[in-house]
């Protein structure tokens, strides 16, 4: 998180360290517990799963286009991604 930014003082609930934005949660990898994932929202493959979908992590150098559908996730204490919000920019 950026120094002096609105989330600068927010700490990881599991480690007490500053939050980090990571590419993806990893089940069983304690280094991802409590971290934030911001990724492109990938729509579900069928209408039956409408509203679910997944997030594909953004990597350095990815081109951002408009409109951009993003999904914000937090990694839980087992390393699974928990959906927080879908954003359209």
Cα–Cα distances in angstroms (integers) from residue 4 to residues 13, 21, 44, 67, 68, in the given order: 20, 16, 37, 28, 26
Instruction: Please state, in angstroms and rounded to a whole number, the distance separating the CA atoms of residues 88 and 47.
Output: 20
For position 76, what pLDDT does the model report?
A: 94
Which position has the higher pLDDT, 89 or 56?
Answer: 89
Evaluate if residue 81 carries a pLDDT over 90: yes
Cis status of the peptide bond prior to 67, with omega within 30 of 0: yes
Chain segment 26-74, per-residue pLDDT in tens: 999 999 999 999 888 776 665 544 445 556 666 667 776 777 888 899 9
**Within-domain flag for 61:** yes
Name the β-bridge partners of 21. 36
Which position has the higher pLDDT, 65 or 6?
Answer: 6
The dihedral region occupied by 53, where left means phi > 0, alpha psi between -120 and 50, and beta the remainder, is left
**Within-domain flag for 9:** no
| Stretch 9-38: mean pLDDT | 91
Number of domains in the chain: 1
Domain that includes residue 66, residue range? 21-88
For position 14, what pLDDT does the model report?
A: 92
**Within-domain flag for 51:** yes
For position 34, what pLDDT does the model report?
A: 94
Instruction: Please state, in angstroms and rounded to a whole number, the distance separating the CA atoms of residues 19 and 11.
Output: 5
């Amino acid at each position: 998180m950026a120094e002096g930014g609105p989330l600068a003082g927010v700490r990881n609930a599991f480690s007490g360290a500053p939050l980090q934005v990571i590419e993806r949660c990893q089940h069983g990898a304690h280094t991802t517990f409590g971290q934030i994932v911001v990724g492109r929202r990938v729509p579900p493959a069928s209408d039956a799963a409408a509203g679910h979908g997944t997030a594909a992590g953004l990597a350095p150098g990815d081109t951002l286009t408009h409109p951009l559908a993003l999904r914000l996730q937090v990694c839980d204490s087992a390393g699974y991604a928990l959906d927080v919000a879908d954003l359209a920019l």
